[in-house]
Amino acid sequence: MFDLVRPTRVLANRALGPDSFVLTMERRFPSFQAGQHIDVGLPGAETRTYSLYSGEGDPHLEILVRRVRGGTVSSQLAVLAAGDQVRVDRPRGKFTLRQALPGEKLLFVATGTGIAPFRSFLRSRPDLDATLVHGVRDPEDDYGAEFAPSRVLCVSGPQLSGGAFAGRVTAWLEEADLGAFSRAYLCGNARMIFEVFPLLVDRGMEEHRVHTETYF
């Protein structure tokens, strides 16, 4: 049985960009669904909600964290090392693949650390026929480089990397042929969600086939 009182042990903390890191923790519950999230923080202290970055079959838990200037929880998690302890609450959330049918071509759209659940999707279901579109301001925040080599990287800042699309994800979607996609999953900041959802519907995708998870 999952014990909410007993802290979870940190296994590793690795940098993934100048202000971001992946926190690896022991896994103390038997199952979760890719796309779900957990609350993490120091024992007895404030917690924040993070999407799971690890796959359903991984022996550990991972979250992708961006250290926020003035952010209490992200700053506390950033300095943790193997052997330290954190509080981890039970996985929850409905942003999962339960609606996706076999053979459907999926569109994944993310901004920033909103890419986390899509890594969990792809690690859990490597057979998925999916296109990942990831929007960042700076190329150094290209978190998808380690797990999705065929992704579309959209860079909205002044610096570009080779092969990246110059502009926001909305600009790429406005130019793309979206007719082949059966279903879309959107995860990231509210501005992106509020712009992309109606864009996809206007381009012919039924509303019930667009699934969202908003980061505030």
CATH number at residue 67: 2.40.30.10
User: What's the pLDDT score for residue 1?
Assistant: 45
One domain for residues 142 and 202: yes
Strand order in the sheet with 60-66: 47-51, 37-41, 85-88, 8-15, 20-26, 60-66
What does the pLDDT read at residue 5? 57
The phi, psi pair for 7, rounded to 5°, reads: -65, 160
Instruction: Say what the pLDDT of residue 159 is.
Output: 87
- Identify the pLDDT of residue 216: 76
Query: Same domain, yes or no, for 105 and 211?
Result: yes
Claim to verify: residue 107 and residue 30 sit in the same structural domain: no
102-155 per-position pLDDT tens digit? 999 999 999 999 999 999 999 999 999 999 999 999 999 999 999 998 999 999
| Percentage of residues in the chain having pLDDT higher than 70 | 98
Q: Are residues 178 and 104 in the same domain?
A: yes
Give the rounded percent of residues in the chain with a pLDDT score beyond 90: 89
Which of 23, 58, 88 corresponds to the end of one domain?
Answer: 88
State the chain's mean pLDDT as an integer.
95
The answer on 114 and 204 residing in a single domain is yes
Structure tokens at 28: 């103390």
Reported as a single tens digit per residue, the pLDDT across 147-196 is 998 999 999 998 888 889 999 999 999 999 999 999 999 999 999 999 99
Q: Can you give the residue range of the structural domain that contains 24?
A: 8-88
Quick one: 60 and 35 in the same domain? yes
Domain shared by 207 and 106, yes or no = yes
- Left if phi > 0, otherwise alpha if psi is -120 to 50, otherwise beta: which for 25? beta
Q: Are residues 115 and 174 in the same domain?
A: yes
Per-residue pLDDT, 93:
97
Q: What is the CATH number of the domain that holds 143?
A: 3.40.50.80
Write down the pLDDT at residue 3.
Answer: 58
Residue 167 to residue 135: CA distance in whole angstroms: 8
Beta strands in 84-196 (DSSP E): 85-88, 105-111, 129-136, 152-155, 165-166, 183-189
CA 102 to chain centre: 22
